[in-house]
Structure 1
Amino acid sequence: MSIPLLNEKLNTETARISWEELQPHFARGAAIYVAPDLDLIAVARHVAEDEAAPLKQWMEQGKFGAISDDMARTFLAD
């Protein structure tokens, strides 16, 4: 799939939602953290295209990855 088409598809599949709406996904281990300074669509494109290098770099920087229990508590408090 071309990058513009993939970007369009991913853009239609994303939206802002509250932590309360994400909690069931977190509970089953299906919620992923993406830092606010990253472009969500760009990150999703790297995931969709299985591009490990940028994902690994962001994981090492704490900008992408599984949501920890501590992060979940912070999100709930906010």
Structure 2
Amino acid sequence: MTELPSELCIKLNRETSKIDWEALQRFYAQGTVLVVAAELDLVATAVALAEDKTQYIADLLEKGLLQKADETQAKAWLAEKCEVWAVVVAPWVLVQRERTLAK
């Protein structure tokens, strides 16, 4: 049997949207942008953060699957004028580049 998504999961899914990286510069400057690796589910990661799943989040950080946006990445994304998927779990803004499909 499949587990139904929690209300928090549904709420965060509805609040997830694409946004230009440029629009997130203020949050990047404040150090509140977390980059979620492409292989992770953005909403599931946001739910884990919101539910304070400390060990899971620590494991993601240790593996580099979740990390603060760094200067090199921020400059590259700004130059590319890229869009990211984003969701807010205050005080954090979680972002993820769109997955590219193999051709």
* SS of equivalent residue, structure 1 residue 22: helix
Give unpaired runs (5+ residues) of structure 1.
none
RMSD over aligned CA atoms reads 1.6
Q: What is the alpha-carbon distance in structure 2 between the residues aligned to residue 55 and residue 42 of structure 1?
A: 11
Which of the pair is proportionally richer in helix? 1
SS in structure 2 of the partner of residue 37 of structure 1: coil
Percent identical across equivalent pairs? 37
Distance in 2 of aligned mates of 1:46 and 1:56: 11
2:51 counterpart (49, 52, 70): 49
Deviations 1:8-67 (A, max 9, x none): 111111111111111111011121111111101100011011001121111112111211
CA-CA distance at 1:77 after TM superposition: 2.9
Match for residue 60 of structure 2?
58
With a CA cutoff of 8 Å and minimum separation of 6, indicate the structure with the bigger relative contact order.
2
- SS of 2:64's equivalent in the other structure is coil
Matched residue count = 77
Return the structure number with greater strand share.
2
Gaps of at least 5 residues in structure 2 are 81-103
- Alignment TM-score, normalising by the size of structure 2: 0.67
Scaled by the length of structure 1, what TM-score is found?
0.85
Moved over 4 A (4+): none
Residue from 14, 19, 22 that aligns with 1:20: 22
SS of the residue 1:11 aligns to: helix
